[in-house]
Structure 1
Amino acid sequence: MRVLPIFVAHYHKKVWKWPAAIAVAAIAWGVASIPAVAQPHLPPPRELAPAPSPYPGFWDPKRRPERPDLSRLSQIRFMTETDYPPFNYANQDGHPVGFNVDLARLICDELKITCTIQMRRFDTLVPALNENRGEAVIASIAVNAATRKAVDFTDPYYRVPARFAALKAAATPVLKPEQLEGKKIGVVGGSAHEAYLKALFTEAQPVAYLTADATRDALRRGEVDYVFGDGIALSFWINGTDSGGCCAFAGGPFFESQYFGEGVGIAVKKGNETVRQALNWALFRLWEKGRFTDLWLRYFPVSPF
């Protein structure tokens, strides 16, 4: 199972549309929405403030990992899936490309070791890893209780935030809870976003739609005051052609793991600490040097954070 959002992916103003059957929020091993099951009660935030930076940085500079012993590590065979743009997919020549692919190459450059990247169907990745056909899977697999039973993970290298979006005239960088009182907020019915909205913003008026596309269309037409959903998908929509330049983020982002997951990590075979620690060290170094940030902003020109 995998936890991942639906995307309206955008490259140089070209819009990629994912099938409507793919659900909105990140979940485990398979793309579907997080059901609105019983969730822990969280007190409403006093203020919905903008992100402190436009890119993810989930590494603590005070917890600098030690450089691992790389003497036994001569190469890393990465595996990824074939069709999940913009994270991993095959280009016109059949070669692997995408954010995860470029990140794997940066990791191997940082470690100064040989790197190979092979593409497989998503459902074959973990079995291949456990059969020693590769050392690592970099395919946007969510870290959660279910996936940790099958594999070990590096530290998360990104998370999928929830965000509000509004028409540009109403898209204030700071969004206070009282501003949402009585406002119509488009959300995908049955999703974790709907559950979070109902739990924390009880004075708002959720308006449930079947798909994320439907919520965004409603916002563009002025049928709702805000939408609340997957921040990465919304970032592509805001920067793409379908939005018509109508909208922008308002307040946020939100990262409550009980609703929106723990993040996305690189998977390694259970017990393979040599590779896991090497990857963790390389990820930290790439973030520390600013190379991770450069890569992120190249793929996500409108940051979801």
Structure 2
Amino acid sequence: MNGFARFIATALLTAVGASGALAQAKEWKEIRIGTEGAYPPYNNLNAKKELEGFEIDLGNLLCEKMKVKCTWVVQDWDGIIPALQANKYDVIFAGMNATDERRKQVDFTAVYSKTPIWAVGPKNTKSDDISPAALKGKTIGTQSSTIHANYLEKFYKDSDIRLYPTQEEANLDLINGRLDYNVADALALADFLRGQGKDCCRRIAEVKRDDAIHGAGVAGAVRKSDTALKELINKAIAEAIADGSHKKLEDKWFKYD
């Protein structure tokens, strides 16, 4: 177990406490999990319209540890928090970063993934400089209502920021030459560069994280009133990290360390 995993596992087990979590477990017989189904390798609908990805496997694993039934609900990203608040499901596992802005609406479980942020572009891009000055007048794409959109809109005011309903649509516009750059989570873009984008595009540079915008990392989102559910999920995450099953899922789905 690496240092980050030990830190998360120890903090979770200390904060939650086995007795408190187990006392609440009987109240949750079924947990409905909302996801986008369009953000590989975190979550995706395959050719058979079946959900797959790191978060799908992780959610199912956590439900096994919590001894509850899992039901998955696919929801467009733009409405994913409103649908949680409208009781369409109980927790969101959708590559969502735990930011201070989102904490105004929801509560977050422990972080279960934290990765760099990349800017990618055409292979013939000559410079790796992605500073706001260097990208003045350039077209930069990313998914709307994300930390990446917030970051670009704050720091790249002199660039042409183009927002898309899904990351896949932004990727397609990059392939087709309608974008100069694309910004997203490194895992999602590494997946893209091994697949559709392998012939056209390359990693240009890593985007410097801004904690106020990018948050602590990817976590599950729950309604603020569901504190018992959050504690139950936190205990299961801690167990998955401690017993190595979380790492196995990372190794399965994340080809970029």
Pairwise TM-score range, normalised by the shorter structure: 0.5 to 0.7
Residue 272 of structure 1 pairs with residue 231 of structure 2? no
Q: Is 1:114 matched with 2:85?
A: no
Query: Which of residues 73, 87, 106 is equivalent to 1:128?
Result: 87
Compared with structure 1, are the counterparts of its residues 247 and 114 closer, same or farther at alpha carbon in structure 2 (3 Å cutoff)? same
CA distance in 2, matches of 1:167, 1:93: 31
Indicate the residue corresponding to 1:68 in structure 2.
18
The corresponding residue for 1:16 is none
Query: Which deviates further from its counterpart, 134-143 or 96-105?
Result: 134-143
Q: Which residue of 1 aligns with 2:166?
A: none
Q: CA deviation at 1:280?
A: 1.2
Matches for 1:136-155 after TM superposition, within 5 Å: 136-155=91-110
* Residues 165 and 247, structure 1, Cα contact 8 Å, conserved in 2: yes
For the structure 1 residues 165 and 97, does the alpha-carbon distance in structure 2 shift closer, same or farther, using more than 3 Å as the test?
closer
TM superposition shift of 1:197: 6.2
- The answer for unaligned runs of 5 or more in structure 2 is 143-148, 164-169
Identity %: 17
Q: Which amino acid aligns with 1:117?
A: T
1:74-93 pair list within 5 angstroms:
74=26, 75-81=29-35, 83-86=37-40, 87-89=42-44
Paired with 2:161 and 2:90, the residues of 1 have a C-alpha distance of 41
Q: Judging changes above 3 Å, is the alpha-carbon distance between structure 1 residues 284 and 140 closer, same or farther for their aligned structure 2 residues?
A: same
After TM superposition, list the pairs within 5 Å mapping 1:151-170 onto structure 2.
Answer: 151-159=106-114, 161-165=116-120
Q: How far 1:73 moved relative to its partner? A: 0.8
Distance 1:239 1:136, change over 3 A: same
- Structure with the higher fraction of residues in helix conformation: 2
Secondary structure in 1 aligned to 2:31? strand
Take 2:47 and 2:195, find their aligned partners in 1: how far apart are those partners?
22
Partner of residue 236, structure 1? 191
Aligned-partner residue type, residue 84 of structure 1:
A
* 5+ long unaligned stretches in structure 1: 1-52, 200-205
- Counterpart Cα distance in 1 of 2:135 and 2:105: 41
Give me the TM-score of the superposition, normalised by structure 2: 0.63
Deviation of 1:249 after TM superposition, in Å, equals: 5.8
CA distance, structure 2, for counterparts of residue 274 and residue 257 of structure 1:
27
Instruction: Report matched runs for 1:1-305 at 5 Å.
Output: 59-60=7-8, 63-66=11-14, 67-69=17-19, 70-74=22-26, 75-81=29-35, 83-86=37-40, 87-89=42-44, 96-111=51-66, 113-121=67-75, 122=80, 123-128=82-87, 135-159=90-114, 161-165=116-120, 188=140, 191-194=149-152, 208=160, 210=162, 212-213=170-171, 227=181, 229-232=183-186, 233-244=188-199, 247-248=202-203, 250=205, 252=206, 254-301=208-255, 303=256
Residues 121 and 174 in structure 2, CA contact (< 8 A), matched pair in contact too: no
Distance in 2, matches of 1:95 and 1:216, equals 26
Q: How many residues align?
A: 228
Q: Deviations over 1:229-273 (max 9, x none)?
A: 2133421232113331753464x4633222334433222332333
Task: Check 1:240–1:81 CA distance in 2 against 1; reply closer, same or farther (3 A cut).
Answer: same
Alignment-mate amino acid for residue 112 of structure 2: Y
TM-score, L = length of structure 1:
0.55
Change (3 A) 1:78 1:248: same
Partner-residue secondary structure (3-state), 2:112: coil
The structure with the larger Rg is: 1
Q: Which amino acid aligns with 2:222?
A: V
Distance in 2, Cα, partners of 1:241 & 1:59: 36
Distance of 1:156 and 1:231 partners within structure 2 = 15
